Amino acid sequence: MTLTAPKPLLLTAAVVLAYAVCALSLKVCPNCGSTPVPYPLSTAPDCGDQLYKIRCNAGSLFFDSVNNTYPITSISPSIQRLTISPAPFLGNTCIASDLPSNGLQLNSSAPFNITGSNTIFYLNCSANIMNSPLNCTSNSLCHVYINGTAGSGCVDAPLCCAFRAGGSTTAYRIRVRDSGCKAYRSFVNLDYGLPVSRWPPPGVELLWVLPIEPTCRTQGDCDSKSTCGPDPNSAGGVSRCFCNSGLQWDPVAGLCATECKDPDGCGKDRTGLIAGLIVGIGVALLAVLIAFLFYKRHQRIKREQDRLTREREEILNYGGGKSAKVFTGKQIKKATNYFSKDNLLGAGGYGEVYKGILEDGTVVAVKCAKLGNTKGTDQVLNEVRILCQVNHKCLVGLLGCCVELEQPLLVYEYVSNGTLLDNLQGGTRGLLSWNHRLSIAHATAEGLAYLHFSAVPPIYHRDVKSSNILLDEKLKAKVSDFGLSRLAHTDLSHVSTCAQGTLGYLDPEYYRNYQLTDKSDVYSFGVVLLELLTSQKAIDFNRPQDDVNLAVYVQRLVEEERIMDAVDPMLKEGSSTLELETMKALGFLAVGCLEERRQNRPSMKEVAEEIEYIISIATAKTTD
């Protein structure tokens, strides 16, 4: 038997040996030209994870879609994202060069999808696209783009539409076709406030799913830190290299690593590197001076932090509710096991959310906002204090800015029952009775009314949607994530790209003046009411084309005087006439919230009062 290790493998080993301090892996692919190919991306059969194939050609990386190939322009392994350059226009026309194969289409069984960070314009559309849920009106952002790129072929193609990707169908494809739109442009993390000339080059950001342990046939396929064994989660007799005891699969690095106990002893920390450099240069004196300055700075920061902590605890406790506590970065790191990937509950436009267990056993959710500055901290403080007041039972308050992490952290009570969206779409939808739904609607409306009318200054949520409404074990609603979008928009123009609302919930007037007001929250809340009433998704491409947008769909039924046809049949079943009347009443209230013109929509206070009234009717019935 001849076992010749392929050349690239040896190369990789050498490269990795040169850098690795903690752990060693043979699985990372060699650089492509000068571009590193992070795990699990694979450019060859003997490295990376074969599910994550990309191509290295003449020193450049390419991504193969189902029918096409696109250059990869950047890769961010720590957040599992890569950006590809979309197909160019054909010559001087407004036709995409991938039009013949219907645009960008990903293999939906491969572990890549298109992220919600992409703002996409469909260009050179035919008129029949106009009744889609996309915004194809003459003041949509794609017209700003066309106007800003005079000379491009698209100036003469007046029909275009704008939307954000990442919905259920746009997760895998950006479709162009002869009978629809003939070209597209996509921009990653687009800051709508910038003039077109300062927009980034076009790109489509893709996300990859974190890989599980690599497959193996024999122990020889695994390294010394793992053992080849059958995968209990897969039926087909697949074996994988499972990490030996004491070690843990690190899907980002693609190796078995010791759990990191000491934050300063683990590869990622820079202090070691900096110290090494200084010693290397041999300027010992400088090191002493720097150490001294660091020490002074550290002391100053610590004093400042202690002061802030005290002040914050005072403010937090002032508002009533359960007493709040401010945590240090150390405590939070410990609670979340050093932000271990195992504790990652999810990642959204505003940052990542980790599950944590405090020393007293309280389970919390810790949110790392994607903000690099401390200026936002006081606003964060505001938001969380209000969270405490709205929810009365809030267990924990907030950590201000953790200097070590340079990120503001929010600590929320960990709400175990998932979001309203999960509960409306999962198999548990039958558990949400009409009374539950009314009380969820009421609690949410009250929370929002509080933000609008009692907070000083008023806070607009800006992203009201069923996935931002958390349900506790008693199915009581808690509004989350409010005000964060404003935070993200204050002064960090380079990160101020977070979604301004979500497709399907977004106030149509936003496109007229790019302003979100309290009435925008009312609009989005109207959509949530419809979800409660219908158990349907705000945007669902499985509905007939004209009905994809839930708001449009229900408004049509209302015009046809068939509002009850929209109500979830499971809810209607066995309901009394009076209950059916309250459903109808909530439906009309929702439609009122969805009024095209802001001034015609009720205020959040009025909405909350109306729901209270509807509840009083519904409960009057039960006491009969």
Interface residues with ligand NAG (CB under 6 A) are 66-67, 93-95, 100-102, 107, 109-110, 113, 124, 133, 135, 137, 139-140, 144, 147, 153, 156-157, 166, 171, 178, 182, 207, 209, 508-509, 511-512
Q: What is the DSSP letter of 149?
A: T
Q: Maximum Cα–Cα distance for the chain, whole Å?
A: 87
Q: Which is nearer to ligand NAG, 111 or 267 (CB)?
A: 111
How far apart are CB 534 and ligand NAG at their closest, in Å? 19
Exactly one of 463, 481, 507, 521 is catalytic; name it.
463
- The full 3-state SS of 252-280, as one line of letters, equals CCCEEEECCCCHHHCCCCCHHHHHHHHHH
Q: What is the DSSP letter of 166?
A: -
The rounded distance, in Å, linking the Cα atoms of 27 and 152 is 45
The rounded distance, in Å, linking the Cα atoms of 521 and 320 is 26
Q: Which is nearer to ligand NAG, 48 or 153 (CB)?
A: 153
E-only strand ranges, 270-375: 344-348, 351-357, 363-369
Q: Which is nearer to ligand NAG, 205 or 509 (CB)?
A: 509
Nearest alpha-carbon partner for 222 in 211, 214, 210: 214
How far apart are CB 467 and ligand NAG at their closest, in Å? 11
Q: Is 367 marked as binding a ligand?
A: yes
How far CA 277 is from CA of 105, 286, 294, 428, in Å, comes to 47, 12, 16, 57
How far apart are CB 230 and ligand NAG at their closest, in Å? 21
Residue nearest to ligand NAG (CB): 511
The rounded distance, in Å, linking the Cα atoms of 229 and 219 is 8
E-only strand ranges, 106-152: 112-114, 118-125
Tokens 């992070």, residue located: 38
How far apart are CB 30 and ligand NAG at their closest, in Å? 23
How far apart are CB 71 and ligand NAG at their closest, in Å? 19
Judge whether 472 counts as a catalytic residue: no
Q: Which is nearer to ligand NAG, 453 or 511 (CB)?
A: 511
Bridge partner residues of 174 (DSSP): 104
How far apart are CB 438 and ligand NAG at their closest, in Å? 28
Q: Which is nearer to ligand NAG, 191 or 509 (CB)?
A: 509
Q: Which is nearer to ligand NAG, 137 or 328 (CB)?
A: 137
Residue type, 224: S
Q: How many residues are there in the chain?
A: 624
The rounded distance, in Å, linking the Cα atoms of 378 and 309 is 12
Asked if residue 499 lies in contact with residue 117, where contact means CB atoms within 8 angstroms, the answer is no
How far apart are CB 174 and ligand NAG at their closest, in Å? 13
Long-range contacts at 264-271 (CB < 8 A, ≥ 24 apart): 266/22, 266/338, 267/21, 267/22
Q: Characterize 97-125 residue by residue with b for buried, 16 or more Cβ atoms within 10 angstroms of its Cβ, and e for exposed.
A: ebbeebbbbbeeebbbbbbbbbbbbbbbb
Q: Which is nearer to ligand NAG, 131 or 493 (CB)?
A: 131
Catalytic residue positions, numbered: 463
> What residues form the annotated binding site?
367
> What residues form the annotated binding site for ATP?
367
